[in-house]
Amino acid sequence: MSTIGLVPARCGSKSIPFKNIKSFCQKPLVYWTLSALQQCEQVDVVYLATDCEEVASVVLALGLDKVQIYHRSPDNASDTASTESVLLEFLEAHPEYSAEDTLVLVQATSPLLESQHLEEALTQYRSEGYDSIVSCVHTRRFFWNKEGVPINYDYRNRPRRQDFKGWWMENGAFYIQSVGGIKEHQNRLGGRIGIYEMPEHTAVELDEPVDWTIAESLMRAYVLKPQPTQVRLFLTDVDGVLTDSGMYYTENGDEYKKFNTRDGMGFELLRKAGIRTGIITSENTEIVTRRATKIKADYLHQGQRDGGKLAAAQEICEKEGISLHEVAYIGDDINCIELLKRVGFAACPADAVAQVKALPNIHILSTKGGQGCVRELVEMLLPL
C-alpha cells in the first residue's frame, strides 16, 4: 500500500498575489509543507497540484526528490472550485492508486507543519482504526456569535482558563483518509474521524499581509530555532562568512581581511554554553590563524579544498565523539555544499551564492557575510 501526499497550490489568490510561492522565511511558502512531506518516512510520493507553470517551476527547482507536479484543470483552480474537486480529479487521473492506499491532503498555507506531526498522525490513523484524521489545535478561547450569544460557555459562570476544557479547532494543516474513503464520501473526511492535536502556534492563518509577519515570527521561534542540546559543535567558513569576501591589498602586496567583532562575541557565547567551535576554510593564511587564536576557536583547519571541508568536519567529530547531526555549520559558497548537506543545522549568510541558498535544509540568515551573520546564527542556537 502507498501513502500519497497532495498539496494544492493554484496561481490565484485574492488577498496575497502568488501567495504559494511568496518568500516565507526566505523560502517559497509551499516549500515548507512539501519539505515536511518529503521528510516524513511514511510518505512515498508527493504531488503538487497546480495550474501554474511559474509555481511548478519554482517547486521543481527545490530539488525535493519525492515531489512530482500534477497539472490540475483550470476549472478546478478557479476561485469557486473546492478542494474536494481537486482531490477527486487527481484520483481519477491516477487510477493506479487503490482504495486501500492512504492520501494525505496538506495545505500549502500551513508552513509550521513539521514532518513529526505527519509521522505521528499517520501512526495514529493506522493504529487506532480511524477512517480519517483531521489536524486541530486545542484552544481555550471563548466564542460568541454575531447576535451576542456565547457559543461555548456561560458568561454568568465564567470558568477559569485552567478549568475550561476548551474546544478543538481545525487548523487546516492536513487531512488523512484512504483513497477509497475519499471516493465514497466525496470528501476529504468521512467515516470515524479522529483528531490529531497540533501545537497551538500552528493555528495561524495566512490570509492578510499582517498574518505573514506573525507567522514568520512563530516559524523562527518554534520551528527554525534548534534546541541547544542538538548542537554540540559549531563550525564556520571564513571568506564570505566571517568576512565580507573582500580581499584587501596594500601597494606592497600585503593582504588584509575585515572581521566583525560581534561574531567574536558569538564565539564567546558558544564557549560559555559549552559548545565547541571550529573554523574550516580553503584558504591558508596567517591572518586567519591569528583570528582563530583571538576568538579562542577549538579547531582550525585551513587549506581544505576538493571535499576537504567535509573530511575536516568528520575528523573533528571523531575527536569529539559526536555525529555530524550534532554540528551547526555556516558556509556561503559551492565548496561548502557537501558539508552543509550533511550537518544537523546548516546556515548561510543573506548574500550566499544561489546554489547554497537552494539547499533544502538551509537556514538563510538576514545578515550578510562579515556583517555579524555568525552572531545572528549563535543567537538562534542558544536559549534567550
Beta sheet of 362-364, edge-to-edge order = 299-301, 276-280, 233-236, 327-330, 345-348, 362-364
The residue written with cell numbers 487527481 in the block is 90
The identity of residue 290, as a single letter, is: R
Question: From the CB of residue 315, how many other CB atoms can be counted at a distance below 10 Å?
Answer: 14
Residue 141 designated active-site: no
The residue written with cell numbers 512515498 in the block is 44
For every residue of 267-323, DSSP letters joined together read HHHHHHTT-EEEEE-S---HHHHHHHHHTT-SEEE-S--TTHHHHHHHHHHHHHT--
Q: Report phi then psi at 343, rounded to 5.
A: -80, 165
Q: Which three cell numbers stand for residue 151?
A: 457559543
Query: How many angstroms separate the CA atoms of 238 and 125, rounded?
Result: 48
Identify the CA nearest to 263 among candidates 246, 244, 249, 287: 244
The one catalytic residue in 72, 126, 158, 276 is 158
Query: How many angstroms separate the CA atoms of 20 and 224, rounded?
Result: 20
Q: Which three cell numbers stand for residue 272?
A: 560559555
Query: How many angstroms separate the CA atoms of 243 and 261, rounded?
Result: 11
Q: Which three cell numbers stand for residue 263?
A: 561574531
Query: How many angstroms separate the CA atoms of 271 and 280, rounded?
Result: 17
State the DSSP code for 144: B
| Residues 341, 360 contacting (CB under 8 angstroms) | no
| Residues 51, 30 contacting (CB under 8 angstroms) | no
Query: How many angstroms separate the CA atoms of 168 and 197, rounded?
Result: 8
Q: Report phi then psi at 216, rounded to 5.
A: -65, -40
The residue written with cell numbers 517559497 in the block is 28
Give me the active site residues, please.
158
